[in-house]
Structure 1
Amino acid sequence: MKIDLQFIWTALIELLSVVPTTLAITAVSMLCGLAIGIVVALIRRYRVPVLNSVAASYVTFIRGTPMLTHLLIIYFGLPVIIDSLAVQFGWSFRSVSIPMIGFAYISFSITAGAYLSEVVRSGLQAVEKGQLEAAYSIGMTTRQAMGRIVFPQAFAIILPSLSNSTISMLHGSTLVFTVSVVDINAKSQIIASSNWKFFEAYIAAAIIYWGITILIERLSALLEKRINIYNRGGVT
């Protein structure tokens, strides 16, 4: 078997056009998932009545089922719910107006939220309770103490886990081809379908994923370094 190096290069160039799609899915899912994760983590940390049980069930269900299952449930179930509500309340909006990538954003954000809630919760628990009590002693409210003292330290603690979760989401984004979204993985299949050089096309895709992963690791390392300098009271 002879590897066509020229085709690998050609595939690499063509795959660059869909890199923004993959990055958008990863970034939106992680940002929305982090917001969900923070809310769920706080609910579970402070054991908010009723909501605590709902949050715990959400985390257990999402972590106990595959990512692809979440995507398919959203893809097939959300339109039914939206269209039913539209008919009931007379809305002009219909599920056909939702772009395919929208289903990926919603599904992956929900998935990321469950996993990141545990990451955030572990970070909050790692911060000594004495620091929160010290904040109260100088007149800070709970919101001020959490925002100025607890969360910055917790973020520094969970940064490596956030980096790993981002990389996992990047790789998990390959599932979007099941709902007709063309990302790096799907594009590589399209490129190879013209001449059946799937091996070369997948090598090109792997190179791009590898490059993005290295970039995420580098950015995470730089951010971690700056945060550590800040926590030590240094300057840059």
Structure 2
Amino acid sequence: MSESFNYEFLFKTFFVALSGAPVAFIITLVALLVAIPLGFFGALTRIYQIRVLRRIAQVYVSFIRGTPIIVQIFIVYSSVPLLLTALFEKFHIQANVYEINPIWYAFIVFSLYTTATLIEVFRSALGTVSKGQLEAALSAGLTGAQAYRRIIIPQALVAALPNICTATTNLIKATSLGYAMSLPEITLKAKVAANVGYNYVEAYIDIFLVYLIICSLVEYGFKWYEKRLRTYKIASA
């Protein structure tokens, strides 16, 4: 075990950990691209009380938010290969599912996780926009889609952006659990580097610093974008 704090290792491993950032970014981007439209649709089913879909959305949100994401990772990472194997055998498809890049499982897990969060974010944000504005837009001749795109969504987005920012930073931090699927992301790379000399304290400090820097930059970007979006917000009386 390391007897003293190794500053040289701390410096070198910082860049090793940072080299895993692209994997975290890719997972985050894909998860958001999938979760944003699904989350918005799920929010609409709850706002407009669409019976069956509303109930499905409620159960889904309760299940995802009520279980640890590490458990969700283990369930997907262990069950999906079994399901694919059975499917391939049934249709006589020659493929080894255990050679699939684990990042695809990460896309599934983190997309499901983020969708549940954004359903609640969008539901709350859409609730801040007066129903009278939608009725006024429809009476002015706009279609429902045009009313949402031009009037409702810009206002709701301003209200939702702080929570979307929080969801995004939480998602980035959650990708650290990708090590459970052997993904070469920030945490795994730093821990592998620490295995040689048991410099785990230094490795965890590097992980902390990398995530702190990334999440701070993301928060800054959202705050900048929020200021621009406020020009679309209609002042209430």
Q: Shorter-normalised TM-score: what interval?
A: over 0.9
Q: Which TM-score applies when normalising by structure 1? A: 0.92
Which residue matches 2:18? 16
CA distance in 1, matches of 2:8, 2:234: 51
Does the 8 Å contact 1:86/1:94 carry over to 2? no
Structure 1, unaligned stretches of length 5 or more?
A: none
Instruction: Determine which of 112, 115, 129 is the counterpart of 1:127.
Output: 129
What is the rounded CA distance, in whole Å, between the counterparts of 1:226 and 1:82 in structure 2? Answer: 45
Equivalent residue, structure 2, for 1:220: 222
Cα 1:195–1:116 shift into 2, 3 Å = same
Identical-residue share of aligned pairs (%): 34
The residue correspondences of 1:115-194 to structure 2 (distance < 5 A) are: 115-194=117-196
Deviations 1:202-230 (A, max 9, x none): 11111111100110111011001111134
Aligned to 2:60: 58
- Residues 17-71 of structure 1: CA distance to partner in whole angstroms, max 9, x if unpaired? 2110111122222222222211211122222232221111111111111111111
Aligned equivalent of 1:102: 104
Deviation sequence 1:167-222 (CA, Å, 0-9, x none): 11111111111111121111111011111111111111111111001101110110
Alignment of 1:34-113 (within 5 A): 34-92=36-94, 95-113=97-115
Partner of residue 231, structure 1: 233
TM-score scaled by structure 2?
0.92
Matched with 1:201 is 203
> Deviation digits for residues 55-100 of structure 1, max 9, x if unmatched?
1111111111111111111111112222222222344455335310
Between the aligned partners of 1:170 and 1:192, the Cα distance in structure 2 is: 22
